[in-house]
Amino acid sequence: MFKIQTLNNISGKGLQRLPSESYEVASEVDKPDAIMLRSFKMHDMELPESVVAIGRAGAGVNNIPVDKMSAKGVPVFNAPGANANAVKELVVAGLLMAARNITPAQQFAAGLSGNDDEISKAVESGKKNFVGYELPSKTLGVIGLGAIGLRVANAALSLGMKVVGFDPQISVQSAWQLDSGVEKAVSIDQVFTKCDAVSVHVPLLDATRGLVSAQRIAMMPKGGVIVNLARGGICDDDAVLSALDTGHLHAYVIDFPTSKLLKHPKVISFPHLGASTEEAEENCAIMVADQVREYLEDGTIKNSVNFPEAFMPRGGGGKRITIANANVPNMVGQISTILATANLNIADLLNKSRGDIAYTIIDVDGEVSDDTVVSLKGIEGVLSLRVI
Ligand SMILES: NC(=O)C1=CN([C@@H]2O[C@H](COP(=O)(O)OP(=O)(O)OC[C@H]3O[C@@H](n4cnc5c(N)ncnc54)[C@H](O)[C@@H]3O)[C@@H](O)[C@H]2O)C=CC1
Ligand SMILES: O=C(O)CCC(=O)C(=O)O
């Protein structure tokens, strides 16, 4: 029986992928094998020693101490692209809300009173205060052309906007899907210089913290809009607020409100709602539940943010050993020597690496004794080992 601890609500459609005959899934579990979560902040959490995998039902992993997990040989899985359409749709909504002054207009309409004639008169005289603009008259800059950014760029083009994109590390897959009408910027500064609205779709990293700065906002034409459905911290909120105050910026669309931002009338705040659709929640939960299950049952690695992809079909009736270790020379040599000494024949072997981590799957003919496990774990650089 595998035990999974959930730290957030995970869609039932995903949890159904973990059959109750072989999985216990609950928010309180003694000695869990794996953890599934969404935005729960794990940084200060005491991780049970029993945990061998973390599954993030979403894209961003800044709430997970990934480096610490790597040092323990624990793979962290996420669900790339599974909520991208949901976020794209909310970005489009945010652009339209800003362009058409929808929040103040809606507040004005909701506050009207009197009989129908009086309301009609107030409507006709009040609407001049909310005159907006249409999207095709504007240029959108998209920073980060991954699963979300590329969809935002393509959607904005289809709404008639001009679109400028920037992503120096764009993946081949994203490049294939990006509409050829998206102009490629050579620098982030160029995006701000050319664009009336800028939407950020990058992970929160040291390199992206404060990416939307006072200097860059100043490069934008007057009346600009910033959209940040990526993470708080990517924009310098104080710089954004002062640009809203001077009128240099028209609106700030943010999925991560703070007390300062909530008070400002030109801030359009959402409650971290980007991925909150039934479809996205299901997609993420299904993807990550499948990945965690395949890892627990077969040691397969798919869509991990810290481990290499690793899949080896399971043959024969023997045991499978999986080993995560430091990516240094002669690890496979040392492992094979110990297996040979234990008189275990290697039926199949896969060794992959990514950065500082290497991962080996070995199918052996026969049982693996406790002594052999102790010897393998004793090799310098072995971070984690499982016998499945
Ligand atoms: N508001 C919400 O509910 C959600 C927010 N997010 C946030 O959006 C972020 C992006 O998500 P995805 O598009 O799915 O991730 P992704 O990994 O598919 O794309 C991120 C892209 O950013 C690029 N990038 C990284 N640093 C960059 C830089 N300095 N300048 C330009 N490009 C850079 C990468 O090359 C990559 O192509 C996530 O990390 C997460 O923080 C994601 C899903 C839901
Ligand atoms: O699970 C959620 O609602 C948050 C989604 C998110 O922020 C992400 O996938 O990075």
Q: What percent of the chain has pLDDT over 90?
A: 98
Going from the Cα of 202 to the center of ligand 1, the distance in angstroms, rounded, reads: 3
Pocket test for ligand 2, best of 38, 42, 276, 287 (most atoms within 8 A of CB): 38
- Residues 91, 73 share a domain: no
Q: Give the model confidence (pLDDT) of 201-226 as tens digits.
A: 999 999 999 999 999 999 999 999 99
Q: What is the pLDDT of residue 316?
A: 73
Tell which one of 56, 76, 202 to mutate to probe ligand 1, the residue whose CB is within 8 A of the most ligand atoms.
202
Distance 145 CA to ligand 1 centre (A): 8
Q: 231 — phi, psi (to 5°)?
A: -165, 145
The model's confidence at residue 280, banded by pLDDT at 50, 70 and 90, is very high
CA distances from 131 to 99, 110, 253, 255 (A): 9, 17, 19, 25
Contacts of 212 (CB under 8 A, 6+ apart): 198, 200, 226, 228, 234, 235, 236, 239, 240
User: Which strand (E) or helix (H) includes residue 253?
Assistant: strand 249-254
129 and 238 fall within a common domain: yes
Q: Which residues lie below 8 Å from residue 16, measured CB to CB, with a gap of 6+?
A: none
Residue 325 near residue 280 (C-beta atoms within 8 A): no
- Residue 361: closest CA among 346, 371, 383: 346
Strand partners, 350: 361
At 89-110, the pLDDT tens digits run: 999 999 999 999 999 999 999 9
Binding-site residues, ligand 1, Cβ < 6 A: 58-60, 80, 83-84, 87, 143-149, 166-167, 169-171, 174, 201-204, 207-208, 229-231, 255, 272, 274-275
**Cα 196 from Cα 346, distance rounded (Å):** 61
Q: Ligand 1: which atom is nearest the Cα of residue 174?
A: 37
- Quick: pLDDT tens for 218-248: 999 999 999 999 999 999 999 999 999 999 9
Residue 268 near residue 313 (C-beta atoms within 8 A) = no
Question: Which of 287, 307, 327 is the endpoint of a domain?
Answer: 307
- Any idea which ligand is nearest the CA of 277? 2
Q: What is the CATH number of the domain that holds 203?
A: 3.40.50.720
Q: What is the pTM of this model?
A: 0.97
Distance 39 CA to ligand 2 centre (A): 6
Q: Is the CB of 60 under 6 A from ligand 2?
A: yes
Rounded CA separation 98/375 (Å): 63
Number of domains composing the chain: 3
Q: Which residues pair with 268 in a beta bridge?
A: 253
365: domain CATH number is: 3.30.70.260
- From 248, 269, 290, the end of a domain falls on 269
Using the 8-state DSSP alphabet, how is residue 273 labeled? -
Sort 361 into a burial class: Cβ within 10 Å, 0-12 / 13-18 / 19+.
buried
**Rounded Cα gap, residues 273 and 36, in angstroms:** 19
pLDDT in tens, 143-164: 999 999 999 999 999 999 999 9
Same domain, 135 and 48: no
Q: 214 and 105, same structural domain?
A: yes
Q: State residue 315's pLDDT score.
A: 77
User: Which residue CA neighbors atom 7 of ligand 2 most closely?
Assistant: 60
Instruction: Give yes or no: residues 175 and 256 share one domain.
Output: yes
Q: Which of 219, 239, 269 is the last residue of a domain?
A: 269
Measuring from atom 1 of ligand 2, which residue has the nearest CA?
A: 38
Confidence of residue 317 (pLDDT cuts 50, 70, 90): confident
Q: How far is the CA of 23 from the centre of ligand 1 (A)?
A: 32
142 and 217 part of one domain: yes
Residues 314 and 326 in one domain: yes
Please say if the pLDDT value at position 72 is more than 90.
yes
Rounded to whole angstroms, the Cα distance separating 178 from 53 reads 33
Same domain for 299 and 216: no
**Ligand 2 pocket test, candidate residues 88, 231, 272, most atoms within 8 A of CB:** 272
Q: Which of 112, 103, 111 is nearest to 130 (CA)?
A: 103
Distance 42 CA to ligand 2 centre (A): 14
Using an 8 Å Cβ cutoff, are 147 and 284 in contact?
Answer: no
In the prediction, which pLDDT does 298 show?
97
Q: How far is the CA of 79 from the centre of ligand 1 (A)?
A: 12
Question: Burial code of 125-159, b = ≥16 C-beta within 10 A, e = fewer?
Answer: eeeeeeeeeebeebbbbbbbbbbbbbbbbbbbbeb
Cα 258 to middle of ligand 1, angstroms: 21
If asked whether residues 209 and 355 sit together in one domain, one would say no
* Ligand 2 atom at shortest distance from the alpha carbon of 78: 9
pLDDT of residue 163: 98
Q: Which atom of ligand 1 is nearest to the CA of 86?
A: 44
Q: Which domain holds residue 137?
A: 84-269
Q: What is the pLDDT of residue 35?
A: 98
Indicate whether 129 and 218 sit together in one domain.
yes
Indicate if 154 and 47 belong to the same structural domain.
Answer: no
First to last CA, the chain: 12
CA-nearest residue, atom 3 of ligand 2: 275
Distance, CA of 364 to CA of 284 (rounded, Å): 34
Same domain, 165 and 250: yes
